[in-house]
Each structure stands twice: as structure tokens, then as C-alpha cells.
Chains A and B, each alone.
Chain A
């Protein structure tokens, strides 16, 4: 009797796992983590896949071919990856680090995801959001705004010495000499 219950229970469990009620539906969000994008400095791109469907997505492939070798250097991460399965109601994220080789405006286009929405169905394609044109700051401009210029200011102080300290020293010397003489008298 108990074995029958176990069997029914197991079949029911199996049923829950294997017979998907609905299809998976993946949303791909591509976003840039940087607040400033500069030539020669790392750019962090994050891809997040949300499964808003009712079933698990299988054989999920993400590919982003918008970072051409001529414009970007790949620092870390892979631009084409795959996940075996993304369960319903869950999300996964992926990070790629690139380094822009040129400055100016760049059109950040969408990444592509393809997956199998339900058992036996054809591959579904999806595209991420389009980031549009973002400005890549030149290294010069970035240094101008953000680099600490302590050395430059230090040297500036050195150049200022003949202009400021020298006259003051001469004045002070002369002043003290004649004030002293007056006091002595």
C-alpha cells in the first residue's frame, strides 16, 4: 500500500518536473556598469537574462558581436557563452570586460540570445536592448578631468619661487636690516 503511494508521489513529482505547463521566455538586458567610458580604460558590460516564462529555458546561447577587434580589446570574459538551463522565474548574469581602442561616439548595438523555450520546440531568438550611441572619452580628456595633478602643481610651485619667494626674501632682508638698525639706535 505504501509503495503504491510512493509510486504515485514519484510520478507526480516527475510530472511536475518534466511536463512544462508553459514555455520559457527570456529577456536579455545589456547594460554598461561604467559611469564614464574612456579610451584605454576598462569598460564593464553586464548581460542579465530573466526567465519570465513558466518553463525552464534550455540550451541558452548568448552572443555579442558588437565589440569588433578593431575598436575594442577584450580584457576578460567571453562574448559568446551558453547556459544549460535557466529555470523559470530565475535570472542569470554575465560580465564582459573590454577596453575601447578609439575615442568618440560609439553605437552600442544589441546582443543576441537563442534558446529552446520548451521541450522539442525550435530555437527562439531574442535581442537585448540597444544602448544607442555612447560617448567614449579620449584619454586626454579623462586625464584632464580626473588625474591627480599633484606633480604638476608641485613643479608649478617650484617655478613660482623666483617670482614670489625671491622678492619676499629680498624685501624681508632689507626690512629687517633697517628696522634692526633703527631699534639699535
Chain B
């Protein structure tokens, strides 16, 4: 009976305990970001966040998950494992300027997050490992009227004036 208990305990530990072996203590990310903002090139938008992480302890094979506005995305790593990237797309353009806040979770944090979602709790209550914030400048400003349309309008006005003068004379 006691032996069985030990086995169970070991099992539970392996299931859940093993996952928390790697966590970053005092993470300091240094990141760069990209947001697409040219409406002439595409009707979809993309956001890419690349970063490296400095931890107080030595971690290998750190597994991270990101949460962006309620969506969870797994974070990819470079083959050597030092560079991370998280990216996502949307099928419509992000026209307005906005601030993106991306929260990063390690495995434990991520499972807490999933638990919170399942029990319909506020996901902001789950503590993240670290977060990054950056600004999306919005679409490049543009004049809504095409320049040749404007030229045509001006030309039409001029032509109208000259026709009036001319008809005055001819009449």
C-alpha cells in the first residue's frame, strides 16, 4: 500500500513536477518588434516580436507561451535556443495606432492560465513571467482623394468657365 502510494506520488510528480524544472529567474528581455502598416501591399496585417532573454539562473530548453489580447500563442525558438519569436497575423488591417501588450508565461504559468480560462476567471489575474509592450504606428496616412481625380475636377471647372465665356461671345 505504501509502495503504491509512492508510485502514485512519483507519477504525479513526473506529470506536473517535471514541467516546472525550467523557469527563468528575473527575466530581462531585449526585444524588437515589427508591425505591418502598408495598406497598398496587403489587406492582412502581421506582427512579429523577436527577443532574447537574460535569466539570473541558467536555463536550457525554456518553453514559453505568449498571450496577446486573450489569444495564447506558443513561442518559437531558434535552433540553438537563444532567440525567441512570437508572431501572429490577422485578416484585416490594423488601421488605428495602438499599443500591444504581450505577456509571456513559462509552462507552469501557462497551465495556470489555462486553468483560469477553464474556470472562467480573469486571465489578468495569472502572473506572467514578463511582458513586453510596443506601439503600432497605424497605417501610413493618406489623402482619400486620388490626385488625378482632383486634377480632373480642377480641369473641369476651368473648362466650364472657358465654355461659358466662349458661349457668351458666340451667342
Contacts and interface: CB of A to CB of B under 8 A. Distances in A.
In the complex, A touching B (Cβ < 8 A): yes
Interface of A: 3, 6-7, 10-11, 13-14, 17, 33-38, 41-42, 44, 46, 61-62, 75-78, 80-84, 92-97, 146, 148-150, 152-153, 156-157, 164, 168, 171
Contact of A34 (B42, B47, B83, B143): B42
6 contacts: A3-B4, A14-B15, A44-B42, A84-B63, A95-B88, A153-B151
A41 B41 contact: yes
Contacts of B79: 61, 80-82
A46 B8 CA distance: 44
B150 interface: yes
Contact of B148 (A38, A93, A149, A171): A149
Contact of B87 (A37, A41, A77, A150): A77
A61 B79 CA distance: 8
B147 A150 contact: yes
Interface string B28-71: 00001110101011111011101000000000010100000000
B34 A75 contact: yes
B48 A46 contact: no
A153 B148 contact: yes
Contact of A35 (B41, B88, B162): B41
Given A7-B8, A83-B74, A156-B151, A78 B83 contact: yes
A78 B42 contact: no
B76 interface: yes
Given A46-B89, A171-B165, A38 B11 contact: no
Report, as a range, how many residues of chain B touch the other chain.
Answer: 35 or more
Interface of B: 1, 4-5, 7-8, 11-12, 15, 32-34, 36, 38, 40-44, 46-48, 50, 61, 63, 73-74, 76-79, 83, 85, 87-89, 142-143, 146-148, 150-151, 154, 158, 161-162, 165
B67 to A, nearest CB: 15
Given A33-B89, A42-B38, A149-B147, A10 B46 contact: no
Given A153-B150, A168-B162, A97 B48 contact: yes
A52 B33 CA distance: 31
Nearest to A37: B41
Per DSSP, chain B at the interface is mixed
A3 B147 contact: no
A34 B48 contact: no
Nearest to A142: B40
Given A81-B77, A84-B74, 5 more contacts: A3-B8, A42-B41, A92-B76, A97-B48, A150-B147
Contacts of B61: 84
